[in-house]
Amino acid sequence: MAMARPLRIEGAGLWYHVMCRGNGRQPVFTDKQDHEAFVKRLGAVALGLHVEIHAYALMGNHVHLFVRTREANLGRFMQRLLTGYTQWFNIRHKTCGHLFQGRYKALLVDKNAYGAEVSRYIHLNPVRGGGTRKETVAKLQAQLRDYPWSSYRAMIGLGPREEWLVTKVTLARWGASVREQQTNYAAYVEEGLIGAIADPAEEAKAQSILGRDRFIDRIRRILHGRRRCDRESEAARRHLTAESIESVMERVARAYKVKRADLMKTGKGTGGNEARQVALWLARERCGAQATLREIGKALGGVGRSAVTMVCRRIACRARRDKHLKRVVARLS
């Protein structure tokens, strides 16, 4: 079964690890002129749309970027960057059609927790994989430091820095003076030449967010207010916004000023008391991506799937005409 399409989450002040690959893994850079054209366009588009470039690496058939958007405009930035370069490439090489493969990948990054790892991973790309691991560490270090199509040389002070490349934020944690920061950051990155460095994206939630629990909760709150989503991304959104059944029970118990145990007491019929009915309804709304109706019913007193469905319909119906219940439901939602 195909994996759900990752979410596109845009916002002001957010950080992203962006990767775009050549269509069919074809080369997107064939020579120095291609590389220079892309770098020039990257800077121009970034300045024009107020996007900060904190790291980049151009490989033969793909591109890595670490960016921060000061406005909610990542999509516009990438569309302008990739479309413009594709047009230039096709004219120069007398080709036509798509140069890049489908949608670019954009991983939302908790900069405080994973920013350094993402920056290191991007900068190590020129010496990752292939036959390069057979080389000595000294030779790999020389290859990495000589590679002209990434931000690494500028980051560690071995080459000029483009006016649009932001290095201060990345280096700030590595010492007091700029020279000390550059030396320590280089040592951190080049540790990856000795042992394998995992792709930080492997720890991402729903292929979309790389961060600690607190950061993910912040993004969940943003997503709760964005109901509309393209069909292929809906599964990822539901997964990210899903709550645990325990969390739902705690919130409902507080709202009704009852004990959690009271939410598991069955009464007449399938629903029991209002607090329990609301807990069943909210659990279906909030836990659906992580818990089945059977699991929800079991956690809340042992009712079947059909009973959970009936209770949810009853609550939805009552909330339309009962003002008090409507306020409670709105507050919990």
- Residue-wise pLDDT for 75-125, tens only, equals 999 999 999 999 999 999 999 889 998 889 999 999 999 999 999 999 999
Segment (H or E) for 65: strand 62-69
* 3-class DSSP state of 62: strand
Go through 294-304 and write b for each residue having 16 or more CB atoms within 10 A of its CB, e for each that does not: eebbebbbebe
For residues 68 and 161, membership in a common domain is answered with: yes
CA distances from 298 to 204, 205, 215 (A): 30, 27, 31
In a domain, 235, yes or no: no
End-to-end Cα distance, the chain: 32
CATH code for the domain in which residue 260 is found: 1.10.1750.10
Q: What is the Cα–Cα distance from 305 to 266, expressed in whole angstroms?
A: 15
> Which residues form the domain of 190?
14-217
In a domain, 237, yes or no: no
For residues 212 and 251, membership in a common domain is answered with: no
For residues 181 and 300, membership in a common domain is answered with: no
Q: Pairing mode, if any, of strands 14-21 and 105-109?
A: antiparallel
What lies within 8 Å, CB to CB, of 5 at 6+ separation is 103, 230, 232, 233, 236
In a domain, 3, yes or no: no
130, two tokens: 């292939």
In a domain, 328, yes or no: yes
For residues 203 and 307, membership in a common domain is answered with: no
* 3-class DSSP state of 133: helix
For residues 101 and 52, membership in a common domain is answered with: yes
For residues 133 and 80, membership in a common domain is answered with: yes
Find where tokens 């991304």 sit: 233
At 90, the amino acid letter reads: N
Q: What is the Cα–Cα distance from 15 to 115, expressed in whole angstroms?
A: 9
Greater pLDDT, 179 or 257: 179
For residues 271 and 136, membership in a common domain is answered with: no
What lies within 8 Å, CB to CB, of 176 at 6+ separation is none
In a domain, 317, yes or no: yes
User: Residue 29 pLDDT > 50, yes or no?
Assistant: yes
**Domain boundary at 217, 251, 279, which?**
217
In a domain, 108, yes or no: yes
In DSSP terms, which residues pair with 66 in a beta bridge? 17, 55
For residues 109 and 174, membership in a common domain is answered with: yes
For residues 45 and 159, membership in a common domain is answered with: yes
For residues 211 and 286, membership in a common domain is answered with: no
Domain count, the chain: 2
Summarize the confidence of residues 178-199 as an average pLDDT. Answer: 93
In DSSP terms, which residues pair with 324 in a beta bridge? none
In a domain, 96, yes or no: yes
At 107, the amino acid letter reads: L
CATH code for the domain in which residue 196 is found: 3.30.70.1290
Q: What is the Cα–Cα distance from 176 to 184, expressed in whole angstroms?
A: 11
Summarize the confidence of residues 14-18 as an average pLDDT. Answer: 96
* 3-class DSSP state of 210: strand
Q: What is this structure's pTM?
A: 0.72
The answer to whether 69 touches 10, Cβ cutoff 8 Å, is yes
The pLDDT of residue 294 is 79
In a domain, 229, yes or no: no
Cβ-count burial of 324 within 10 angstroms (0-12 exposed, 13-18 middle, 19+ buried)?
exposed
Instruction: Encode pLDDT of 259-294 as tens digits.
Output: 888 887 765 443 448 888 888 888 877 775 456 777
The answer to whether 12 touches 242, Cβ cutoff 8 Å, is no
Summarize the confidence of residues 34-63 as an average pLDDT. Answer: 97
134 CB neighbour count, 10 Å cutoff: 8
**Domain boundary at 184, 217, 250, which?**
217
For residues 143 and 269, membership in a common domain is answered with: no
For residues 58 and 96, membership in a common domain is answered with: yes
The pLDDT of residue 2 is 40
The pLDDT of residue 19 is 95
- Choose among 184, 186, 163, 159: nearest CA to 174: 184
**Domain boundary at 217, 232, 265, which?**
217
Strands of the sheet containing 62-69, edge to edge, are 51-58, 62-69, 14-21, 105-109, 209-210
Query: What distance lies between CA 54 and its chain's CA centroid?
Result: 16
The pLDDT of residue 3 is 42
User: Residue 131 pLDDT > 50, yes or no?
Assistant: no
